[in-house]
């Protein structure tokens, strides 16, 4: 088992400014290992520390306490920063903040150009990245005229052009409509299953987290749950207490159980849920 990202007792707090008040740690001794090639979803209420944790994964933030390694490289070693950022890409919520050029293909070429990648290799990577996200036909378009979902796909292509082994997505679908969300989730699925890219997805959409190999739940700077989607989502009441929802399928099964109809809570996909309901109610 090879580890892509490892945090050991990671502790972090933001500068408090002038005030002398005791500031609580935003991350408090977080230890997490993300296996290479897996798709891990991170859930947690607003302010629980998800984005702060994500930014440690490619050295955008450095630990105040503990260590973070990306593919064995210590993020505190400045000599490794560029290599870490190349191998661990980041996609954020707002595509407008990630697009830097006036032409789609130039935008996607931006990072590899800065890395000094030879121009024929850049051409190949840009075309491949744009095809992967389904935006090749838009390569000569102006990004600002695209829809939010299309812009986010261009932003993802820009990260793919660096040829990363791991991509951390921080609420990439939060500003998108359902069709844009589905496109981004389709790309994540393709990266995970066709390329073996390690995927970390921070999301508020439980249906997205249900597709992951593993779900990590954060609360107040701690990891409070860690398991497969089926293991996590059956803990409906605990998740409610943490201010989190569960997928609609789980909620339906949970309410049926409360109404006295005994059904397994871990029929997570719509297909599984339909099957257990059909079996239960077949006359
Ligand atoms: N740049 C910042 N400066 C000061 N405090 C911050 C900054 N970014 C986040 N915080 C605080 O750190 C805590 C965790 O934030 P964040 O990691 O963004 O959580 P999440 O992504 O789970 O919503 C919150 O209390 C937030 O207010
Ligand atoms: Mg956040």
Q: Which sequence spans correspond to the domains of the chain?
A: 3-14+23-229
pLDDT band at 191; cut points 50, 70, 90: very high
Smallest CA separation from ligand 1 atom 13, residue: 47
Mutate to test the pocket of ligand 1, among 46, 47, 55 (most ligand atoms within 8 A of CB): 47
Please identify, by atom number, the ligand 1 atom nearest to the C-alpha of residue 27.
14
* Model confidence pLDDT, tens digit, residues 75-118: 999 999 999 999 999 999 999 999 999 999 999 999 999 888 99
Judge contact between 87 and 115, C-beta under 8 A: no
pLDDT value at position 24? 80
Q: Residue 23 above 80 pLDDT?
A: no
Q: List phi, psi (to 5°) of 32.
A: -150, 135
Atom of ligand 1 nearest to the CA of 171: 21
pLDDT in tens, 241-277: 999 999 999 999 999 999 999 999 999 999 999 999 9
Task: Quote the CATH superfamily of domain 3-14+23-229.
Answer: P-loop containing nucleotide triphosphate hydrolases (3.40.50.300)
Q: Are 40 and 214 in contact (CB under 8 A)?
A: yes
User: Residue 138 above 90 pLDDT?
Assistant: yes
| Confidence check: pLDDT of 22 > 80 | no
Whole-prediction pTM value? Answer: 0.95
* 149-to-94, 99, 152, 185 alpha-carbon distances in Å: 10, 13, 5, 11
Ligand 1 pocket, Cβ-based, cut-off 6 angstroms: 14, 26, 44, 46-52
């Amino acid at each position: 088992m090879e580890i892509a990202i490892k945090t050991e007792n990671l502790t972090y707090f933001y500068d408090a400014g002038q005030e002398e008040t005791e500031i609580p740690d935003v991350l408090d001794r977080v230890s997490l290992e993300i296996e290479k090639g897996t798709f891990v979803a991170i859930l947690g209420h607003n302010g629980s520390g998800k984005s702060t944790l994500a930014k440690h994964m490619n050295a955008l933030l450095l630990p105040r306490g503990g260590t973070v390694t990306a593919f064995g490289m210590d993020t505190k070693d400045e000599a490794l920063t560029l290599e870490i950022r190349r191998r661990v890409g980041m996609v954020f919520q707002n595509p407008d903040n990630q697009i830097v050029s006036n032409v789609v293909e130039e935008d996607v070429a931006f990072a590899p150009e800065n890395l000094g990648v030879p121009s024929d290799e850049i051409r190949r990577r840009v075309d491949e990245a744009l095809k992967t996200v389904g935006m090749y036909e838009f390569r000569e378009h102006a990004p600002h005229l695209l829809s939010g979902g299309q812009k986010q796909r261009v932003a993802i292509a820009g990260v793919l052009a660096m040829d990363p082994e791991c991509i951390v997505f921080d609420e990439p679908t939060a500003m998108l409509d359902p069709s844009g969300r589905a496109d981004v989730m389709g790309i994540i699925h393709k990266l995970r299953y066709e390329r073996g890219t390690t995927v970390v997805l921070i999301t508020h959409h439980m249906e997205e987290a249900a597709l992951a190999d593993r779900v990590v739940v954060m609360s107040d700077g701690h990891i409070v749950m860690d398991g497969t989607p089926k293991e996590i989502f059956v803990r409906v009441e605990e998740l409610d207490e943490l201010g989190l929802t569960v997928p609609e399928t789980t909620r339906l099964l949970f309410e049926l159980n409360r109404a006295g109809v005994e059904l397994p809570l871990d029929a997570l996909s719509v297909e599984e849920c339909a099957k257990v309901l059909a079996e239960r109610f077949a006359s």
